[in-house]
Amino acid sequence: MTNYQTIIENDTSASSISSIPALSVFSEIGASLDEQRPLLTNSTQDSSCVYFEEEPKATVASASINLSNTILGTGMLAMPAAIASVGLIPGMMIIVYAGVTSGLGLYFLARCAEKVGGRNASFSSLSKLTWPKLGIFFDLAIAIKCFGVAVSYLIILGDLMPQVIRSFFHGAEENAILMDRRFWITLSIFTAVGPLSFLRKLDSLKYTSLIALFAVAYLVVIVVYHYITPNFPPPPPESIEYFHLTTKIFSQLPVFIFAFTCHQNIFSVYNELENNSERSIVKVIFMSIGSAGFIYEIVAILGYLSFGKGVLGNIILEYPQSHFVAFGRLAIVVLVIFSYPLQAHPCRASLEKIIDSNPLPMSDKKHALVTGFIVVASYFLAISISQLDLVLSFVGSTGSTTISFILPGLFYFRLYRDDSWHWKRVAALFLTFYGIMVMTVCLTFNIKRLL
């Protein structure tokens, strides 16, 4: 049965959201979409506002879809080039290894969430149980990582849409507006990205995540078709290398790690699952990591065999202009549009923890202000910067490694210290040292590349 609670708000310090036109538009649209508003129990709330406390109702299927969509992002496009840097056989093995270690980190975080109790698990709540003084740094690292990925989505959208328009409309090159990446970024912000980012519940995005996964399937069809069709000639045999292990692997390893990073959303999955038992969580992790790893292997192997060691960093740019490929590029645009909110959600959660130490949900005004800041800031960065490759390599070397390996290992090792030297604690310790090693080595190579 749904509970009701009257809330009286006395927040005179917060500015009225209506005084900021852009944020007002987003807030109104987002509020109309948000059907799952959480119960606020702060005693200083507006008595005219009554909210509903929803019981967790996410299923294993919907949670797996959301988590899979978080994983299957821009990293998929770079998989063939990543394999080309190490050779076919090592590349296939590294994808499996990256998936296993990433899944292990997800499992440790989910088990640690049980120690928090209730449905309030987060990196912040775990830090309070382990290292309280470092909580703000954990949340800041997560916020920066998710914000950087969100910006990259907007940049990809701006780069691909002019190509899509050029493929479908002859003579479109003469229209400066349609060929302007800033126009498409702006349009997406006001029509899709902005409104979806204001949803409070991650499970509210399960249908848009399903649409985005169809976009992933379409890309796989393009890769498979161009590999098997006789009309698309294969590369010369000497351009296919089965083993090519050099020091370049350290600059490409963050690509494999970054491709499986979804740990920022595992707590939302845990909190919103109707049955968040260990068995259910393992199912979600296995289905998400397994399906993503399978798709990565297909795209990486067939993409590499189609173009050889000279394959570009974005596989979709390799294929010839056609309506078939143009629909694929459009599918990627759909993918990044619906993936953006899955980055904005944990980014907002981390920023809210930094701004307000109160563990209860924030008011609507603060929720709208924080979300509006993320959307507006990412928008201005995306229209101002066209190349974030080096920046994202630093984010992948630091943020992804931290939340995928270092923090899961540290949290589990600390919270389950009563297990003595159980194999899980040993694995958690290994994951922590592995993450520190990867961060140190890969960050060093990225700095050398910068210099």
| Predicted pLDDT at 388 | 56
Q: How far apart are CA 69 and CA 62, in angstroms?
A: 11
- Phi and psi at residue 5, in whole multiples of 5°? -150, 130
Q: Is the pLDDT of residue 273 over 80?
A: yes
**What CATH number corresponds to the domain at position 312?**
1.20.1740.10
Q: How far apart are CA 417 and CA 429, in angstroms?
A: 11
Q: Are 332 and 114 in contact (CB under 8 A)?
A: no
SS3 249: helix
- Reported as a pLDDT band with limits 50, 70 and 90, residue 19 is very low
In terms of residue numbers, what domain contains 170?
Answer: 3-450
Q: Is the pLDDT of residue 4 over 50?
A: no
Structural tokens at position 14: 């917060």
Q: What is the mean pLDDT of the chain?
A: 81
| Predicted pLDDT at 41 | 32
451 or 305: which carries more pLDDT confidence? 305
| Predicted pLDDT at 43 | 32
The residue-averaged pLDDT of 209-217 equals: 76
- Reported as a pLDDT band with limits 50, 70 and 90, residue 39 is very low
- Phi and psi at residue 111, in whole multiples of 5°? -65, -35
Q: How far apart are CA 397 and CA 401, in angstroms?
A: 6
Of the segments 81-85, 215-219, 409-413, which one has the largest average pLDDT value? 409-413
In the chain, the number of structural domains is 1
Compute the radius of gyration of the chain from its Cα atoms: 22
Which has the closest alpha carbon to 271: 75, 47, 120? 120
pLDDT digits 0-9 by tens, 411-444: 999 999 887 788 899 999 999 999 999 999 888 8
Secondary structure percentages of the chain, helix, strand, coil, to 5: 75, 5, 20
251 or 381: which carries more pLDDT confidence? 381
Q: How far apart are CA 322 and CA 86, in angstroms?
A: 31
| Predicted pLDDT at 29 | 39
pLDDT digits 0-9 by tens, 230-239: 888 889 988 9
Q: How far apart are CA 38 and CA 154, in angstroms?
A: 29
428 or 341: which carries more pLDDT confidence? 428
Give percent of the chain with pLDDT exceeding 70.
83
Give burial (CB, 10 Å; 0-12/13-18/19+) of 39. middle
Q: Is the pLDDT of residue 168 over 50?
A: yes
| Predicted pLDDT at 206 | 62
Q: How far apart are CA 141 and CA 149, in angstroms?
A: 13
SS3 273: strand
The residue-averaged pLDDT of 365-387 equals: 88
| Predicted pLDDT at 362 | 61
The residue-averaged pLDDT of 15-41 equals: 38
Q: Are 407 and 423 in contact (CB under 8 A)?
A: no
Least confident stretch, 14-18, 67-71, 135-139:
14-18
| Predicted pLDDT at 75 | 80
Place of tokens 């296919």: 240
- Phi and psi at residue 311, in whole multiples of 5°? -60, 145
